Structure 1
Amino acid sequence: MASQPDSDPMPVLLLVDDDAPFRQRLQVTLERRGYAVTGSASLAEAREAIVGLRPTHAIVDMRLGDGNGLDLVNELRNLDADMRIVVLTGYGNLATAVAAVKAGAVDYLAKPADPDEIIRALEAKPGSRPEAPSEPMSADRVRWEHIQRVYELCERNVSETARRLKMHRRTLQRILAKRSPR
């Protein structure tokens, strides 16, 4: 267990994820590592929590029941420009990773993310680079990435994305509802 020096205040972390078992396990792990963690299951809960909380770190799930976690990333970045924000998602793709970093996240991790990997992302020095992947993307993954990039370029408008991809709207909706291929 990593301990914080007595002179440094305990880092305050906001954890936003609608998967309750995952959130609770991660919260316990982070608390053991020296973080003061406040967990939230939704954007609304997170927005209420940050009123009285001044987080130094945040972990935000991308897809929440009441909206997109990227909206919260923007709000957190406006609250504190130096906040370390990591975005987690079970629907990982290149377009949303770029959007997360542009919004102010320091890293973007696909679920299921290992707690050690999350902590490394939170504590990484600014400007450090993650290791390159050991294997190239599969053809299915490349297709998925392209669809997601166009979807983001169309500002998440399914009809416009389907039109640009020359794809039936329902087919696109089914693809978007699935998790990304490995």
Structure 2
Amino acid sequence: MNPPRERSLLIVEDDAAFARTLKRSFERRDWRVQLAADADEVAPLIAEATPGHAVVDLKLGAASGLTVVQALHAHDPNMLIVVLTGFASIATAVEAIKLGACNYLVKPSNTDDIETAFLQPSGGDVDVPVAARPTSIKTLEWERIHEMLAETGFNVSETARRLGMHRRTLARKLGKRGVP
């Protein structure tokens, strides 16, 4: 018999120190937590017991966490999945939600933020404030770059080719944003 899923959580995060910190924080709040560093570690964990919740890092090494979101949602459409990222863009937020995430948070986010994201209605919030400021050219450029990175599985050379820019130019732009 599987244990109750209400306070069970799978954290998929490739930063081991951050994952352990998040795990301890949730365990202090009486959550049962499992850790996975990449997509390959997820399948055996969910085969044993399907958690009710998951936190998935958007960038897992060179891989995209969106594949993990898709796999978790396919395994259990009722699982509440929050995508956590330091590389936020509108494109990846939209794709995460389409693939089954219930929310998308930008790092740094803490345990309170994540628990709140799990509790928010999945239908959305019609009262969310609408930004009065138009998007800047730099933001639009970054969102396009990130969208293309996600499409290419974070392959910098292929992304540069598709965007029609030199690979070193793209690498320099990514370096300025803190993307390795």
TM-score band w.r.t. shorter chain:
0.7 to 0.9
What residue identity is the alignment partner of 2:164? Answer: K
Identity %: 42
> Of the candidates 36, 41, 46, which is equivalent to residue 40 of structure 1?
36
Aligned position for 1:110: 106
Give the TM-score, by structure 2 length: 0.80
Aligned length: 174
Distance 1:53 1:174, change over 3 A: farther
The worse-fitting range, judged by mean Cα deviation, of 29-38 and 145-154 is: 145-154
Deviation at 1:149, TM superposition (A): 2.9
For residue 141 of structure 2, give the secondary structure of its aligned residue in structure 1: helix
Distance 1:60 1:104, change over 3 A: same
Aligned position for 2:71: 75
Work out the CA distance in 1 between the residues paired with 2:141 and 2:50: 40
> 5+ unaligned residues in a row in structure 2: which ranges?
none
**Aligned pair 1:21/2:17, yes or no?**
yes
Q: Quick check: 1:10–1:34 contact (8 Å CA) kept in 2?
A: no
What residue identity is the alignment partner of 1:34? Answer: D
Q: Quick check: 2:62–2:153 contact (8 Å CA) kept in 1?
A: no
Q: 1:103-153 CA deviation, whole Å, 9 max, x = no partner?
A: 111111111112211111112122132844778555433321122234445
Deviation at 1:30, TM superposition (A): 1.6
Deviation at 1:165, TM superposition (A): 3.3
For residue 112 of structure 1, give the secondary structure of its aligned residue in structure 2: coil
Give the TM-score, by structure 1 length: 0.79
What residue identity is the alignment partner of 2:13? Answer: D
Aligned position for 1:88: 84
Task: Give the aligned CA root-mean-square deviation in angstroms.
Answer: 2.8
Work out the CA distance in 2 between the residues paired with 1:113 and 1:164: 32
> Of the candidates 146, 149, 171, which is equivalent to residue 147 of structure 2?
149
Deviation at 1:176, TM superposition (A): 3.7
Work out the CA distance in 1 between the residues paired with 2:62 and 2:139: 27
